[in-house]
Amino acid sequence: MSVTYPNPASLTLTGIINSNSSKATGKIIAPDGRVLMDDILIPQGRFEIEVSALAAGVYLLEIKDENGSWVRKFIKE
């Protein structure tokens, strides 16, 4: 993954990954391992995820495509 911003995020988490795959997907995972958001589509390596409904805290963003997976920590304000 290349860039995920802003961090901390309050409304939207935006990112660019090093993949032009049309099959890239993502999910947001809570610290206790629960999947809060799943099957987030990431077309052409760019995404914008609405995170305003999440409680303040630390979360993991996992991105997968046919080349592998990436996990990044982000903070929700």
Contact 27, 62 (CB under 8 A): yes
Number of Cβ within 10 Å of residue 70's Cβ equals 19
Which of the four pLDDT bands, split at 50, 70 and 90, describes residue 2?
low
- Cβ neighbours for 74, distance < 8 A, ≥ 6 positions apart: 4, 7, 8, 9, 13, 58, 59, 60, 61
**pLDDT of the residue at 26:** 93
Contact 64, 26 (CB under 8 A): yes
What pLDDT digit, counting tens, does each position of 11-69 carry? 999 998 887 677 889 999 999 999 999 999 888 888 999 999 999 999 999 999 888 88
Per-residue pLDDT at 3 exceeds 60: yes
**Spatial distance between the Cα atoms of 52 and 43, rounded to a whole number of angstroms:** 22
**pLDDT of the residue at 40:** 92
- Domain 3-76 sits in CATH at 2.60.40.3080
